[in-house]
Amino acid sequence: MQTNPADFATEWAAAWNARDIERVLAHFHEHAIFTSPFARRIRPQSGGRLNGKTEIRDYWREGIQAIPDLHFTVDAVFSGIDHIVILYTNQKGVRVSEILRLKDGLVIEGHGTYPPDVVNPTGAGR
């Protein structure tokens, strides 16, 4: 993997903490796919799957407006052949992981993953 995972995670968190969506998106391929259970809540028609920078940008803009105190603290970084996993704690104290697959140094696929009780706090559907 050419991208240094620790440097990537540091810059990723700094961009989010600056609330600079374009800076975060600079690490993403134009045709990236991103999934999140919260995308399904905010944009139900997406089914939680966002295709391309435009959809990802629009979702993140909505999300960032809804979370004025957004802040991420990186707890650990893991790397694979073409993946980086960033384990972080958000402003609510929830530990979250971002699973990112890279191609030519850019994220081509990303997945936000959360504890089950955060995704489905009522317990319905379990």
Q: Look at the chain and report how many structural domains it folds into.
A: 1
Q: What is the CA radius of gyration of the chain?
A: 14
- At 76 the three-state DSSP class reads strand
In a domain, 77, yes or no: yes
In a domain, 119, yes or no: no
Q: Backbone phi, then psi, for 27, in 5-degree steps? A: -90, 0
In a domain, 122, yes or no: no
The per-residue pLDDT for 124 is 47
- At 115 the three-state DSSP class reads coil
In a domain, 126, yes or no: no
Average pLDDT over residues 5-11: 95
Integer Cα distance of 73 and 82 in angstroms: 23
Strands of 46-94 (E only): list them: 49-51, 73-79, 83-89
Q: What is the pTM of this model?
A: 0.90
In a domain, 117, yes or no: no
* Alpha-carbon distance values, 103 to 17, 18, 100, 106, 110 (Å): 25, 25, 10, 5, 12
Q: What is the pLDDT of residues 13-33, one digit of tens each?
A: 999 999 999 999 999 999 999
Q: Which two tokens stand for residue 14?
A: 């700094």
Amino acid identity of residue 28, one-letter, is F
Q: Which two tokens stand for residue 39?
A: 């995308």
In a domain, 118, yes or no: no
Average pLDDT over residues 93-115: 96
In a domain, 106, yes or no: yes
Could you list the residue range(s) of the whole structural domain that residue 52 is in? 5-112
In a domain, 31, yes or no: yes
CATH number (domain holding residue 107): 3.10.450.50
Q: Which two tokens stand for residue 95?
A: 């530990």
